[in-house]
Structure 1
Amino acid sequence: MEWQQAIKGFKSYLKLEKSLSKNSIEAYSRDIDKLKQFAMQQMLDPEKITLQQLRQFLTWVAELGMIPSSQARILSGIKAFYKYLLAEDEIKADPSELLESPKIRRKLPDTLSKEEIDKLIAAIDLSRPDGQRNKAMLEVLYSCGLRVSELTELKISNLYLEIDFIKVLGKGSKERLVPIGSHAIKALQIWLNEVRVHIPIKKGEEDYVFLNRRGAHLSRIFVFMVIKQLAEQIGLKKKISPHTFRHSFATHLIEGGADLRAVQEMLGHESITTTEIYTHLDRNYLKSTIIQFHPRS
C-alpha cells in the first residue's frame, strides 16, 4: 500500500468511523505525513515499517526539537494509523503496539478566582447592545464550562432554560446535557428577548444563540478578542482565553466538593484522567480535604 493511498483511507476512517472533527483529522494527517517523510528516506511503504523503525522515527522527531506533549500526540496518531491498517488487513501485526509514550510533565491550566470573574463581567458596558451579548457569553462559559467552539455553535433549539439545562454538541459530535445557573439564564434571556430580536439575521443563522451585528454567528477568534480586551480593561495580568473560564468552572466545582464523575460528565471528558488534573490545582484544597476526611488527621 502506497503512502498517499494509506493516508487518504486513514482520513476517511477518522471521519466516518471515528467521527473526528476536521481539525483533529488534519492534525492526525500532518503527523502521519511526518512519518511518511521519515519512511521515504528509507524507501519504506507503511506496511514495511517495524517497531524499531518507529522508535527511530520518534527519536528523529525529538531531535527536531518537538516538546514531549507534541511527541505524545504524534504517537497517538501513529497508533490510530496502524489500528486502521490492521482493520483493513493491510498489515498482519501492529508495529506500534509496544511503542512507549514520552514522559510528559502536565502543565496545570491557569484559572481565575471568583472575584476576577466578577470583575471581568462587571467591566462589560451594558449600555451597548453587544454588551448584553458579551455578558451572556461569559456567564454561559463559566456557568456551563463550555469549550469556545461549543459556545459559538450553541443553538436556541438546544436551550431548555425552563428546566435549567442546555444541550451541547461537543468533540466528535457527541451531545451532552449541561446544567445552567440562574445568572447565566437571566443574562441569556435579556440577550435573546431584548437585544437579539432587533438584529437582522442572515439566512441559515437563525438558530444560533450568539450573533454579531451583521446577524452571523460568532467566530472563535472573536470570543478570544472580547475576553482579551476585558482583561486589559481591568488590568488583569494573567494570560487568559475562553478556555480559562472552562478551567475555572471545573476547579471551583471540585474545590467546592463536587463529585469528579459529575464534573467529567459536564465537561464532556471521555476519560476521568483528563478531569483529574483539576484535583491538582489547589494545594490548600487538597490539604483541607486530607484534614477533613483522613481518620488520622
Structure 2
Amino acid sequence: MSEHTGLAKAVRAYLDHLAVERGLAANTLASYRRDLRRYVEFLAALGRVEPTDVLESDVMAFLRNLREGSDAYPALGASSAARTVVAVRGLHRFLCREGMTDVDPARTVRPPAPPRRLPKAIPLDQVERLLAAAAVGDGPRALRDRALLELLYGCGSRISEAVGLDRDDVDLETGTVVLRGKGGKTRIVPVGSYATSALEAYTVRGRPGLLGSGPGTPALFLNARGGRLSRQSAWTVLRSAAERAGLGTTVSPHTLRHSFATHLLDGGADVRVVQELLGHASVTTTQVYTLVTVDHLREVYAAAHPRARG
C-alpha cells in the first residue's frame, strides 16, 4: 500500500497504538498489519485514500471481497475473514476516538460467524507415548526435547510462551513457572512432578552442553548453537516425537494445550481454575473444553449404561 496516503498513515498510528497502549503480541500485530494492508489497497482501488472517504458500503464490499477473493488475494474462510473485519472495525473505532473522522462506517458491519470448532485433544495413553518418544538417548537435545514437551503438556503452555521462557522463570523447588501470555499478561502456573523432573535433568545435564562456549543467554530452551530455541524448531521437536510415537502429523503444540485442559476437566477441575491456568481472558473461551468433556461423558454413558440404547 502507498505509505503516504491518509489511510496508510492512520493504519500506522493504529498499529502503534495496539503495540504501545494495548501491548498486543507480535504475531497478532503482524496479522493485523497484513489484514489492514489488504483493506487499504482495496479502498485505494475505489479511490478512497483518506479516512473520511470511507463509506459503510465500502466496508460491506470489502467483506464480500474477503469471502469471494480477487486476482490479488485469495478468498478467506469465515475465521480469517472474521479476524480481518475485527481489525477493520478496530481501526475505524480508533479513528473516531482520535477525532480523525466523525462517522464510523464499520459500526454496523458484523464479521461472519466462524464455525465452532471443538479443540482436539488426544487420550492420555497417546500423550504418554508422545512424551516417551521425545527422550531418545540421554544427550543434551534429547533432555531438552523431553523437558519441552513435558512442559507443554504439564502446564498447558502455548508454544510461544514455552520458547520465550528464561532460566529464572522456572522455580524447580516450588514446581512453578512464570508464563508471559497474550497482551504481555503474566501468570504463575504449577508444573507437575514429571515435568519438574524433566526440567531439572535438562537444566543440570542438558542445557550446559547446548550452551557450550557460546555468548550466553538467559533463554531456558536452547538450540544447537546455544541460542534461544525458535517456535519453528520447537514444532519440529514435537512433529518428530509424534512420528516416532506413531501418532501421525495431526499433533500440534496446541494439541498438548487442549489435552491439558480437557484432562483437567475430566479429572474434576473447576472451569475457572482451568481458565486461570490457560491464561484465558474470559471463561467463555475455556468453556468450549467442557463441550469436549460432555461428549466424552456421553460416549461413556452410551457404552456402559444398560438402558442407554434400545
TM-score, normalised to structure 2, is 0.87
Q: How many residues in Structure 1 have an aligned counterpart in Structure 2?
A: 291
**2:59 is equivalent to residue 54 of structure 1:** yes
- d(CA) in 1 for partners of 2:181 and 2:113? 28
Shift in alpha-carbon separation, 1:213–1:38, aligned structure 2, 3 A:
closer
Q: Which residue of 2 aligns with 1:192?
A: 203
User: Aligned with 1:176: secondary structure?
Assistant: strand
Cα deviations by residue, 1:251-278 (Å, 9 ceiling, x for unpaired): 1111212111111111111222221221
**Quick one: distance in 2 between partners of 1:56 and 1:274?**
30
Alignment partner of 1:140 is 2:155 = no
Q: 1:289 to 1:88 in 2, by over 3 A?
A: farther
Q: Does 1:269 align with 2:280?
A: yes
Shift of 1:288: 8.3
2-side partners of 1:280 and 1:238: how far apart?
24
1:29 aligned residue: 33
**Residues 279, 286 of structure 1: 8 Å contact kept:** no
Instruction: Note if contact 2:155-2:191 (Cα within 8 Å) is conserved in structure 1.
Output: yes
SS of the residue aligned with 1:177?
A: strand
Shift of 1:197: 2.8
Aligned residues: percent identity? 34
Which of 217, 221, 226 is the matching residue for 1:210? 221
| CA separation of 1:171 and 1:256: change in aligned 2, threshold 3 A | same
Change (3 A) 1:208 1:47: same
Alpha-carbon distance in structure 2 between the residues aligned to 1:138 and 1:204: 23
1:222 to 233, 237, 244: 233
Equivalent of residue 22 in structure 2, options 1, 18, 24: 18
Cα distance in 2 for partners of 1:284, 1:18 equals 37
Deviations 1:222-272 (A, max 9, x none): 111111111111221351111111111111111212111111111111222
Paired position in structure 1 for 2:72: none
CA distance in 2, matches of 1:244, 1:23: 19
Q: Per the alignment, do residues 213 and 66 of structure 1 end up closer, same or farther by CA in structure 2, a change over 3 Å counting?
A: closer
Once the two structures are TM-superposed, the CA of residue 286 in structure 1 deviates from its matched residue by 4.5
Alignment of 1:1-297 (within 5 A): 2-44=6-48, 45-64=50-69, 65-123=75-133, 124-198=135-209, 199-200=211-212, 202-205=214-217, 207-237=218-248, 239-287=250-298
Measured on the aligned residues, the alpha-carbon RMSD in Å equals 2.1
8 A contact 2:154–2:195 mirrored in 1? yes
Q: Which TM-score applies when normalising by structure 1?
A: 0.91
Residue range with higher mean Cα deviation, 172-181 or 49-58: 49-58
Structure 2 residue identity aligned to 1:189? E
Secondary structure (helix, strand or coil) at the match of 1:223 reads helix
Q: What is the letter of the counterpart of residue 244 of structure 2?
A: Q
CA distance in 2, matches of 1:239, 1:36: 36
Gaps of 5+ in 1: 292-297
State how far apart, in whole Å, the 2-side matches of 1:277 and 1:22 are. Answer: 26
Contact residue 201 and residue 216 of structure 1 kept, 8 A: no
